[in-house]
Chains A and B, each alone.
Chain A
Amino acid sequence: MSQTVLDVRDLEAGYEPGVPIVRGASITVDHGEIVVVLGPNGAGKSSLIKAIAGLVPITGGTVLLDGRDITASPAHTMVRLGLAFVPQTENIFPLMSVEDNLRVACGILRPRETPARIEEMYAAFPDLARQRRTAAGNLSGGQRQMLAVARALIVHPKVLVLDEPSAGLSPKFVSMVFEMLAGIRKSGVTILLVEQNAKAALAIGDRAYVLVEGKERHQGVAAELWTDPVVAELYLGQRRLDLGQGSAA
């Protein structure tokens, strides 16, 4: 039986009062799943997961993590509560070394546990191990994304939340990032993911939601959504062909 890790109910959120960007969205993520949130530009996908992570003010609804209400929790308490967020851009500290990027995120671990945990991340991401003394700003796009994900994983999150991990990456790195996420899920980590690259995201996802105007309008098994006519109508429309050809499979 699957167990719900993240339960978002009727969430309303926005930067300015009276101007909600997320309008009553409800999604759930079960243990061990990869759930993808798709949607056209401006649908509020990013705002939805930023609100979940405590970065956009919430005006209504609830967010439950393992049954615990984390709706009003400040962003800096989220890792302690078990939710690790990877922003789309500027998701590393460019002037700090790779190792310090990892270490600074270990605030909630016991100091004695930290070195071993960093080594575990190096074992999982050998590219980072080779560059541990490099300033993170000098890493390639794909390696930066790796570092951002490793930094989020280092605190044993219950759920890993990613905002468009493939954005701005070359096709080679895009497939690398999605392979990495599939691997992370195999190790038992639950993942919630927002993506523009629908085809690649659906290929690794279990379930997906289509968000339109701040509310989920459709959901289903990821593998089936790609050919679902309702999805095509809601979101992909005529852009399906472009997406299919343009994205890395």
Chain B
Amino acid sequence: MSLQFVVDGLLAGSMIGLGAIGVTLTYSILRFSNFAHGDFMAWGAYATLAVVGAIGAMFGKIAPIAPLSFGWPLIVALIIGMAATGLLALALDMVLFARLRAKGQAIIVVMASFGASMALRSLLEFIFSSRPTYFSRAIQIARPIGFGIRITPDQIALLLLTAVLVLGVHLLMTRTQTGRSMQALSQNAALARIVGIDVAKVVRVTWIIGGALACVAGVMIGILIQIRPFMGFEMLLPMFAAAILGGIGSVPGAVLGGLIIGLAEAGAVQLIGAEWRAAVSFIILMAVLFVRPIGLFGVRER
């Protein structure tokens, strides 16, 4: 078999992994499964697309940065999109999740996130229609890099971006006071308050990080595949499978889980056919829950 599935799998895994970081942080810090997380991806992609359009309207046509398919407008738009998606997550928490959390029943918050997911998705269809759209219609030539693998410049750039973001989040979590506060809150919320951690502030940071990374994942899907209102919802199962496979609360675990699932999906497509792609996350999720429910990097609570 061809090794091309490795590149495809790493790319899919990057998108899944970036999304899974948000899922795992939300779960470990706020103690609920946010089913609207996939829709943050779609909103991030559309927000970035809208900013690209606005820049295009203001500055006219701008040549892409060779050899990539996009120019500086997309980079600027991505940064604005990340901020916007972070704020969207924050706003959703303020108007919906925080109020329900205060009532103390996690399952209600989970159900509410399902509702939010549907509402966010319908709103996108209403504003942008459900027709797929693209950042660029230019076709990139994939270059051979040996072992029968071909890769486009866009793909290389996005893999590097993922690596930088993952490293950044990992350093934030382990080397900064904010990151330590997030760890503390996920391990013992009552004690976190006692040692002087402002829980509301940490929760805000969590949403902003999760939203911003979801936006990057959404834009990656938009650059490499296409932009559709359903794009994020379809990532939900692989993202949760990745977060659980990696161990809830672990950033490196979420990314590794994402890469494993991405590679497994791509391998399955090549070996047994594309119609089985969706089943792969499900099978891995079941296997983890049966064999090692705490995941690869999970630790049993003492």
Contact = CB atoms under 8 A, between A and B. Distances in A.
Nearest to B182: A104
B197 interface: yes
Contacts of B184: 93, 96, 104
B195 interface: yes
A78 B194 contact: yes
A93 B191 contact: yes
Interface residues of A, number: 29
Contacts, number: 69
Interface string B197-208: 111000000000
B197 A104 contact: yes
Contacts of B183: 93, 95-96, 100, 104
Nearest to A106: B177
Nearest to A105: B195
Interface residues of B, number: 20
A155 B195 CA distance: 9
A224 interface: no
B181 A107 contact: yes
B295 to A, nearest CB: 14
Given A87-B191, A137-B302, A96 B197 contact: no
A90 B181 contact: no
B301 interface: yes
A111 B195 CA distance: 16
Interface string A44-83: 0000000001010000000000000000001111111000
B142 to A, nearest CB: 43
A15 to B, nearest CB: 13
B190 A76 contact: no
A94 B180 contact: no
A58 to B, nearest CB: 16
A233 to B, nearest CB: 35
Q: Determine chain A's interface SS by DSSP, over half rule.
A: loop
Interface in A87-122: 87, 90-96, 100, 103-108, 111
A76 B187 contact: no
Interface string B258-302: 000000000000000000000000000000000000000001011
Contacts of A79: 194-196
B187 A108 contact: no
B191 A76 contact: no
A162 to B, nearest CB: 12
A104 B194 contact: no
A87 B194 CA distance: 9
A206 to B, nearest CB: 25
Contacts of A106: 177
Most buried by B among A74, A95, A106: A95
B187 A93 contact: yes
A76 B199 contact: yes
Contacts of A207: none
Contacts of B192: 76
A122 B177 CA distance: 20
A235 interface: no
B198 A94 contact: no
Given A76-B197, A95-B299, A107 B177 contact: yes
Contact of B196 (A92, A103, A107, A111): A107
Interface in A144-160: 151, 155
A75 to B, nearest CB: 4
Contacts of B187: 93-96
Given A55-B190, A94-B187, A95-B187, A76 B180 contact: no
A106 B180 CA distance: 11
A76 to B, nearest CB: 5
A209 interface: no
Interface string A213-230: 000000000000000000
B99 interface: no
A53 to B, nearest CB: 7
Interface of B: 177, 180-181, 183-184, 187-188, 190-199, 299, 301-302
Closest 10 CB pairs of A and B: A79-B196, A75-B193, A104-B180, A105-B195, A76-B193, A137-B302, A93-B187, A94-B302, A104-B184, A107-B196
10 contacts: A53-B194, A55-B190, A55-B194, A76-B192, A78-B196, A93-B184, A96-B184, A100-B183, A104-B197, A107-B177
